[in-house]
Amino acid sequence: MGHLHRAYALTGAICTTVAAQIPGTLVYEAVSDEARASGSLRLGHPSGVMDLSASIHKQGESWYVEKASAARTARRLMEGDIYISDALA
């Protein structure tokens, strides 16, 4: 938390997810009809996959984002060794 993702920044991923729902964008043309209908997107990157979703609507000539979300995968918080005395084993 508080750091950019080494492979794909979350802010960029959310913008990509929103762009996937706006007709006329390159991202819109690249994603499937199913992804557009669901509002969900799976972005593959060198470190894995990000699951994202966005809810948008158009009012007049402007697009508005109502909600955007991203799922993070668990990451290793600690690595270490435990030594147990033979007396306790």
Q: Write down the pLDDT at residue 2.
A: 59
- Whole-prediction pTM value? 0.70
Q: Write down the pLDDT at residue 71.
A: 83
11-18: which pairs have CB atoms within 8 A and are 24 or more residues apart?
13/43, 13/50, 13/52, 13/70, 14/52, 14/54, 14/68, 14/70, 16/41, 16/43, 16/52, 17/41, 17/43, 17/52, 17/53, 17/54, 17/68, 18/54, 18/56, 18/63, 18/65, 18/68
Residue stretches of the chain with pLDDT short of 50: none
Q: Write down the pLDDT at residue 74.
A: 61
